[in-house]
Amino acid sequence: MGTVHVLDNYYLAISLLITVAYQLFFFSIAFSLKFDKLTDFAGGTNFVVLAIVTLALGGDRGNARNIVASIFIMAWGARLSGFLLFRILKTGSDDRFDDKRDKFFPFLGFWVAQMLWVWVVSLPVTILNSPNVSQFSQPSFGTACDIAGVILFSIGFIMESVSDIQKYRFRSAHGRDGSVCDVGFFKYTRHPNYFGEILIQFGIFTIAVAPAANHRTSGGATSALYASILGSIFLTTLLMFVSGLNLQERPGAKKRYEKGDNWDGYATYLRRTSILVPFPPSVYEKLPVFLKQTIFLEFPIYVFDPAKHADQAKTQSNAAEEGRGSVENGRGSEEQNLHN
């Protein structure tokens, strides 16, 4: 079977339609049943569906590059959705939707954002598999782009997969005792899963762009392949400024400080550990602030300053409650000793 042309020659329309239909199907279930457990599963598996469909329709379905790029994004999507489904089954609910799940349009807004995420991040594989690219003869798999892409993907996939497990096991063991997760990859970066995910997407793009980089395509096909880097940039932007670091760094530190939740230990971890790019903590601690905020991406928007950002009234209230609790525990111990 040759190339199948559907709607447009880059498979942009068909991939968008499939994504919208897929997400709306799961949204209807989630909203009707107030069911959180399928949300992330729907996102991750959507990547798998798009890769299978575009690979099957494209004329290069037997090409090693198309197969590898498609398998890579399927493996990432399947692993991510599987892990998040496992985690939500354990926790029971997703607090991201506490203020949305009963409101149609706010809840739908999240799913629309998920549609955009899936469609844009899938662009490198979608365009690589498309008719406008498959009309050209590709270089044999094994170019510099292919090798670099495989290396980036492999490092990223290992980091993201292992760090997800490390953090889950750490939380299961320590619960809410205030311990700082500094085990495994978390010793070298505060967000190894995010760093791994970024490497994964740039790795897939590097493989997908190989035909253009090796001058085997021309015109719109070349421009489209290079433009597909938008998927990797979009994901990186989300993780750094929309739904990742900005929601965890300063808010997380603020919460720890105000609750008195091992703040000294956490402040030491922040000072010694790179926010994103893995680096030896003993060296990172000694770096000037300028290097941390430029090369290592620890922008001021992530930094928590107790004097500027903490609710001092809440801090004092929590400290007073802890003090009363300590006094009551002490009295209880004294009374027990008297009875003994």
Tens of pLDDT, residue by residue over 81-129, are 999 988 888 877 666 766 677 778 888 988 999 999 999 999 999 999 9
Asked if residue 302 is part of any domain, the answer here is: no
Measured from the Cβ of residue 318, the count of other Cβ atoms closer than 10 Å reads 16
- CA 144 – CA 245 distance, rounded (Å): 32
In a domain, 51, yes or no: yes
Query: Of 243, 266, 281, which one is at a domain's C-terminal end?
Result: 243
Judge whether 62 lies within some domain: yes
d(CA 8, CA 13): 7
Q: Do 219 and 331 sit in the same domain of this protein?
A: no
Q: Are residues 159 and 74 in the same domain?
A: yes
Specify which residues 189 forms β-bridges with. 274
N residues, the chain:
340
- Helical segments of 104-178, H only: 104-121, 123-128, 131-134, 144-174
For residue 230, the surrounding DSSP H or E stretch is helix 230-237
Residue 48 belongs to some domain of the structure: yes
Same domain, 224 and 324: no
Instruction: Classify residue 255: in a domain, yes or no.
Output: no
If asked whether residues 66 and 209 sit together in one domain, one would say yes
- 274 forms bridges with which residues in the sheet? 189
- Say if 326 falls within a structural domain: yes
What letter represents residue 162's amino acid?
Answer: V
Q: Could you say which of 210, 227, 243 is where a domain stops?
A: 243
- C-alpha span between 229 and 227 (Å, rounded): 5
Quote the tokens at residue 298.
Answer: 């620890």
Residues near 65 by Cβ (< 8 Å), separated by ≥ 6? Answer: 128, 138, 141, 146, 207, 208, 210, 211
228 and 328, same domain (yes or no): no
Task: Tell whether 137 is covered by a domain.
Answer: yes
Q: Is 301 among the domain residues?
A: no
d(CA 144, CA 207): 9
DSSP E strands in the chain: the ranges are none
Q: How many structural domains is the chain composed of?
A: 2
What backbone phi and psi angles, to 5 degrees, belong to 244?
A: -125, -100
Enter the DSSP assignment of 239. I
* Ordered per-residue pLDDT tens for the chain, 340 residues: 678 888 899 999 999 999 999 999 999 998 888 877 888 899 999 999 999 999 999 888 889 999 999 999 999 999 999 999 888 888 776 667 666 777 788 889 889 999 999 999 999 999 999 999 999 999 999 999 999 999 999 999 999 999 999 999 999 999 888 899 999 999 999 999 999 999 999 999 999 999 999 999 999 999 999 999 999 999 999 999 998 999 999 999 999 999 888 999 999 999 999 999 999 999 999 999 999 999 999 999 999 999 898 887 777 666 666 565 555 555 555 555 545 5
For residue 89, the enclosing domain spans 12-243
68's tokens: 């590898």
142/231 Cα distance (integer angstroms): 23
Taking Cα atoms as reference points, which of 106, 99, 105, 110 lies closest to residue 38? 110
Give CA–CA dist 79/199, Å, rounded.
Answer: 15
**Which residues, other chains included, contact 220 with Cβ-Cβ below 8 Å and sequence gap of 6+?**
132
Query: Do residue 38 and residue 184 come from a single domain?
Result: yes
Radius of gyration for the chain, computed over Cα atoms and rounded to the nearest angstrom: 24
Among the three residues 243, 269, 285, which one is the final residue of a domain in this structure? 243
Instruction: Evaluate whether 203 touches 195 at the Cβ level (below 8 Å).
Output: no
> 235 and 97, same structural domain?
yes
Q: Are residues 88 and 228 in the same domain?
A: yes
Whether residues 79 and 209 share a domain: the answer is yes
Give the three-class secondary structure for 274.
strand
Same-domain pairing of 317 and 225: no
Q: What is the DSSP letter of 242?
A: I
Query: Of 257, 90, 249, 101, which is closest to residue 164 (Cα–Cα)?
Result: 90
Q: Are residues 206 and 334 in the same domain?
A: no
